[in-house]
């Protein structure tokens, strides 16, 4: 009886089969290829975006950058980490309805303080009275002398923070949404 030995042939077939699978295109998919064209495609994962802003009552038709947005600093990362280490002092901008509420509050404040500015009344107590006259709690309104002819103020009207200055030339106010890692509207003194 004659036996045919086939084990050598089988061993030689395994490397050939592996090479055939690899040569068939395994691992050739490139970004942008339409793998599975004609079939259902996967949707991109939802990522959070910038909150939508809309035109607020009394705002001009061509919205300008929000006065509640503060400069974010240089576009390139600083080499000394100053901006990174002081990020806790950058206030949150307002968006959506809160932005509109902030713009309305800024308008009321500037209107209430303008008569004082025109009279040259830069007394912090007069400023405080005018601001509490708008309905802000006396315990939440701070006013301080800002130079020889000027007054600075801060109002904690949570969730809004309102701050500004008044001097012989102008009355300016701004609204923002507080600070990271800090409760209250005053500038935090320490960070991370």
User: What does 81-149 look like in DSSP terms, one character per residue?
Assistant: -HHHHTGGGSPPPP-HHHHHHHHHHHHHHHHHHHHHHHHT---HHHHHHHHHTTT--GGGEEEEE-STT
Query: Does residue 9 lie within any of the structural domains?
Result: no
Query: Does residue 154 lie within any of the structural domains?
Result: yes
In order of 22, 29, 43, 89, 98, the CA distances from 32 in angstroms are 22, 9, 14, 42, 41
Query: Does residue 153 lie within any of the structural domains?
Result: yes
Query: Does residue 20 lie within any of the structural domains?
Result: no
78 compared with 103, residue with greater pLDDT: 103
Q: What confidence category does residue 71 fall into, taking pLDDT thresholds of 50, 70 and 90?
A: very low
Q: Which range (74-78, 87-91, 128-132) has the least confidence?
A: 74-78
Total count of residues recorded for the chain: 192
* pLDDT for 73: 47
C-alpha R_g of the chain: 32
Average pLDDT over residues 22-35: 53
Q: What confidence category does residue 140 fall into, taking pLDDT thresholds of 50, 70 and 90?
A: very high
Average pLDDT over residues 50-55: 76
Euclidean distance between CA atoms 130 and 116, whole angstroms: 9
Residue matched to tokens 């404040």? 109
Query: Does residue 10 lie within any of the structural domains?
Result: no
Query: Does residue 51 lie within any of the structural domains?
Result: no
* Segment holding 80, helix H or strand E: none
Query: Does residue 21 lie within any of the structural domains?
Result: no
Is a pLDDT exceeding 50 seen at residue 162?
yes
Is a pLDDT exceeding 60 seen at residue 31?
no
Is a pLDDT exceeding 80 seen at residue 122?
yes
* pLDDT for 181: 79
State percent of the chain over pLDDT 70: 59
Euclidean distance between CA atoms 76 and 78, whole angstroms: 6
Is a pLDDT exceeding 70 seen at residue 55?
yes
> Tokens in use for 51?
């909150």
How many domains are there within the chain?
1
3-state secondary structure 10-41: HHHHHHHHHHHHHHCCCCCCCCCCCCCCCCCC
Domain, as residue range, for 145: 87-176
Dihedrals phi, psi of 154, to nearest 5 degrees = -145, 130
What average pLDDT is seen over the chain?
A: 76
Query: Does residue 54 lie within any of the structural domains?
Result: no
């Amino acid at each position: 009886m004659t036996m045919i030995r086939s084990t050598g042939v089988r061993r030689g077939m395994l490397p050939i089969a592996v090479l055939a699978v690899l040569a068939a295109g395994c691992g050739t998919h490139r970004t942008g290829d339409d793998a599975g064209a004609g079939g259902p495609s996967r949707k991109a994962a939802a990522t959070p975006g910038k909150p939508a802003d809309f035109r607020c009552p009394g705002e001009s038709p061509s919205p300008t950058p929000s006065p509640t947005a503060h400069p974010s600093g240089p576009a390139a990362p600083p080499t000394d980490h100053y901006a990174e280490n002081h990020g806790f002092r950058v206030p949150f901008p307002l968006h959506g309805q809160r932005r509109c509420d902030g713009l309305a509050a800024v308008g009321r404040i500037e209107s209430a303080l303008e008569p004082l500015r025109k009279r040259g009344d830069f007394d912090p107590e007069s400023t405080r009275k005018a601001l509490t006259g708008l309905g802000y709690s006396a315990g939440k309104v701070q006013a301080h002398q800002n130079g020889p002819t000027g007054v600075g103020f801060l109002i904690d009207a949570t969730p809004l923070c309102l701050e500004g200055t008044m001097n012989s030339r102008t009355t300016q106010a701004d609204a923002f949404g507080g600070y990271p890692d800090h409760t209250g509207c005053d500038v935090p003194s320490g960070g991370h």
